[in-house]
């Protein structure tokens, strides 16, 4: 694992994709043992009790037709390989993200600087044919496999745009597509903006880094854009969602067929800035998990249109023959035990137009930022190796250091400025800071966590020992004091107010 998980789990479930499994393309001569294996998997693991008629099916295709679950099915070895490619962040194709819509596959996202964008493909376009072959009734995996191919080769796609009735055939040359699943920037008024395009296996780590970057620029509020995000890995949803719930608060409840419900809980402090979430009808599955965490925990407000409404979890069961079974094994509920399946998450403010959704989110965050209590008036300014406090300049020793966008400062020396008593606990190899009779901070060199009044706080950068003295993130001290910490890139200064 790339880092310590920020949530507590009871068992492992793999996928929350809005991607149906292929119902067709079965082998002409089906292996009797393969069919028996798949029946055992379905009977033992499907989310609901399986009817005898399903298990009496004579073919794999008939089995999944009788199961009647668009999110479950058999993947041949080739389809399983294509599925793994579609779940990664790099492949040879034309730059479209697709979803299944009744008889056809529909474009849900067009990635920038790709062949699809250059010929004017838009979200909502329906794929009628690929290389002259009718795609009516074909599965998403089959359509995606036909569109992907060797870099530099061409594919002929027939699109239909329902809004205008326009039908056209275009030739696109496949390119190596690297998906940037996160987009971020700092809006006017120190409002951070993060768009999550897909919940890939590594997006949690990327999200952590983006948050650090925006915080270092002085972010005071956050817009999380989940529009047209069809989902991805459950672990990725929990990695991101855990930022917005406090220690011990629920993130998700999973209900299987026979087992007792299992709850996922956050192990970290909740995000300390106001949050606005953008969703639409293309926000599904993992996106709905994250939006549900933020709404139910009270961490923020949701803007946009009602989400897709897929609240089931799929598990991949690999087969000795090289293929896999993708099977619905559980359903999930939001932290407040709301079932979104088939109904979706209804935003706090329903707004149809995308630009109006963004502007409403910005206006909301501006109001929330203005409501935040003003600091008591004490200001500490850090620049280079000096601290300016109450018109007095103090030379810091050892000098503060920058690590991963965080400023680490000498703990004891800054403690004196903050009027904090700092002691060293040699038995436990940690520093103990106290403020009054009841408030305390415990922190150890090299540790990724600190304790503030007994509550765990995850540190983006661990404290270090230098010249026999402990340096800690200045943001940790600001949090302990109940203040704010803002970096000004223009003057290269950090200002702490409390």
Q: pLDDT band at 482, cuts 50/70/90?
A: confident
The pLDDT of residue 14 is above 60: no
**Structure token pair of residue 384:** 């280079």
Distances from the Cα of 340 to the Cα of 11, 249, 347, 432, angstroms = 22, 20, 12, 45
Determine the average pLDDT of the residues in 99-117: 88
Residue 65 domain-assigned (yes or no): no
Select from 155, 178, 201 the last residue of a domain: 178
What CATH number corresponds to the domain at position 144? 2.30.42.10
Q: Are residues 460 and 419 in the same domain?
A: yes
Distances from the Cα of 409 to the Cα of 15, 211, 450, angstroms = 42, 21, 15
Burial 3-36 (b: 16+ CB within 10 A, else e): eebbbebeeebebbbbbbbbbebbeeeeeeebbe
Looking at residue 377, its pLDDT comes to: 62
Select from 134, 159, 178 the last residue of a domain: 178
Residue 445 domain-assigned (yes or no): yes
**C-alpha 124, offset from chain centre:** 23
Tens-place pLDDT, residues 256-310? 887 788 999 998 888 989 999 999 999 999 999 999 999 999 999 999 999 999 9
Residue 357 domain-assigned (yes or no): yes
**C-alpha 453, offset from chain centre:** 29
Q: Are residues 210 and 158 in the same domain?
A: no
**Structure token pair of residue 377:** 């008036």
Q: Are residues 165 and 273 in the same domain?
A: no
Determine the average pLDDT of the residues in 40-55: 96
Percent of the chain with pLDDT over 90: 58
Looking at residue 88, its pLDDT comes to: 66
Q: Are residues 336 and 407 in the same domain?
A: no
Residues 480, 50: Cα–Cα separation, whole Å: 54
What CATH number corresponds to the domain at position 320? 3.90.226.10
Q: Are residues 154 and 248 in the same domain?
A: no
CB 483 within 8 A of CB 497: yes
Residue 40 domain-assigned (yes or no): no
Looking at residue 89, its pLDDT comes to: 67
- Least confident piece of the model among 19-23, 177-181, 197-201: 19-23
Q: How many CB atoms neighbour CB 392 within 10 A?
A: 8
66 forms beta bridges with none
Containing 287, the helix (H) or strand (E) segment is helix 286-297
Under 8 Å CB-to-CB from 354, ≥6 apart: which residues? Answer: 227, 280
Residues 336, 252: Cα–Cα separation, whole Å: 9
Q: Are residues 269 and 152 in the same domain?
A: no
The pLDDT of residue 22 is above 50: no
Q: Are residues 242 and 192 in the same domain?
A: yes
Q: Are residues 321 and 426 in the same domain?
A: no
Residue 77 domain-assigned (yes or no): no
Q: pLDDT band at 361, cuts 50/70/90?
A: very high
Please give the mean pLDDT across all residues of the chain.
88
CB 225 within 8 A of CB 197: no
Residue 275 domain-assigned (yes or no): yes
Q: Which of 102, 87, 160, 97 is nearest to 130 (CA)?
A: 160
What CATH number corresponds to the domain at position 475? 3.30.457.10
Tens-place pLDDT, residues 403-428? 887 899 999 999 888 888 999 998 99
Q: pLDDT band at 11, cuts 50/70/90?
A: very low
User: What domain range includes position 218?
Assistant: 182-371
Q: Are residues 225 and 158 in the same domain?
A: no
Residue 321 domain-assigned (yes or no): yes
Q: Are residues 221 and 357 in the same domain?
A: yes
Q: Are residues 354 and 290 in the same domain?
A: yes
Tens-place pLDDT, residues 198-256? 998 889 999 998 998 888 788 999 999 999 998 988 999 999 999 999 889 999 999 98
Looking at residue 10, its pLDDT comes to: 31
Residue 126 domain-assigned (yes or no): yes
Domain count, the chain: 3
Select from 117, 144, 178 the last residue of a domain: 178
Burial 442-469 (b: 16+ CB within 10 A, else e): bbbbeeebbbbeeeebbbbbbbeeeeee
Instruction: Pinpoint the alpha helices (H) of 113-266.
Output: 115-118, 140-147, 203-216, 234-241
Q: Are residues 284 and 187 in the same domain?
A: yes
């Amino acid at each position: 694992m790339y880092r310590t998980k920020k949530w507590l789990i009871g068992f492992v479930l793999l996928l929350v994709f809005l991607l149906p499994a292929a119902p067709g393309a079965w082998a002409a001569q089906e292996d009797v043992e393969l069919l028996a294996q798949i029946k055992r998997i379905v009977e033992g693991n499907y989310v609901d009790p399986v009817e005898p008629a399903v298990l009496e099916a004579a073919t794999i295709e008939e089995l999944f037709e009788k199961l009647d679950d668009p999110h479950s099915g058999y993947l041949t070895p080739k389809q399983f390989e294509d599925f793994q490619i579609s779940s990664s962040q790099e492949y040879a194709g034309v730059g479209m993200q697709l979803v299944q819509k009744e008889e056809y596959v529909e474009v849900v996202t067009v990635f920038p600087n790709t062949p699809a964008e250059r010929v004017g493909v838009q979200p909502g376009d329906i794929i009628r044919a690929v290389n002259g072959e009718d795609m009516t009734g074909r599965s998403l995996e089959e359509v995606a496999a036909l569109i992907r191919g060797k870099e530099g080769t061409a594919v002929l796609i027939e699109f239909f745009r329902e809004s205008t009735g326009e039908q056209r055939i275009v030739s696109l040359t496949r390119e190596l597509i690297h998906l940037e699943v996160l987009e971020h920037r700092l809006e006017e008024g120190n409002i951070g903006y993060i768009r999550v395009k897909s919940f890939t296996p590594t997006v949690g780590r990327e999200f952590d880094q983006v948050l650090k970057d925006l915080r270092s620029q002085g972010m005071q509020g956050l817009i999380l854009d989940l529009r047209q995000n069809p989902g991805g890995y459950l672990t990725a949803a929990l990695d991101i969602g855990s930022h917005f719930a406090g220690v011990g608060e629920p993130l998700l409840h999973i209900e299987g067929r026979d087992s007792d419900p299992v709850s996922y809980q956050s192990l970290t402090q909740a995000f300390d800035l106001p949050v606005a979430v953008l969703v639409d009808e293309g926000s599904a599955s993992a996106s709905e998990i994250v939006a549900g965490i933020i709404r139910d925990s009270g961490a923020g407000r949701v803007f946009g249109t009602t989400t897709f409404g897929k609240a089931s979890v799929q598990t991949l069961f690999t087969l000795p023959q090289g293929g896999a079974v993708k099977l619905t094994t559980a359903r999930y509920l939001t932290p407040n035990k709301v079932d979104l399946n088939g109904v979706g998450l209804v935003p706090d403010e329903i707004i149809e137009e995308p630009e109006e959704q963004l502007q409403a989110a910005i206006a909301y965050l501006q109001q929330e930022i203005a409501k935040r209590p003003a600091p008591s008036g004490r200001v500490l300014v850090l620049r280079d190796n000096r601290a300016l406090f109450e018109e007095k300049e103090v030379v810091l020793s050892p000098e503060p250091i920058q690590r991963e966008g965080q400023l680490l400062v000498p703990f004891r020396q800054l403690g004196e400025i903050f009027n904090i008593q700092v002691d060293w606990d040699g038995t436990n190899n940690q520093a103990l800071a106290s403020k009054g009779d009841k408030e305390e901070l415990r922190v150890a060199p090299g540790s990724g966590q600190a304790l503030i009044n007994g509550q765990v706080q995850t540190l983006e950068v661990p404290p270090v020992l230098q010249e026999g003295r402990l340096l800690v993130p200045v943001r940790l001290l600001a949090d302990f004091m109940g203040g704010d910490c803002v970096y000004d890139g223009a003057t290269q200064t950090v200002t702490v107010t409390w």
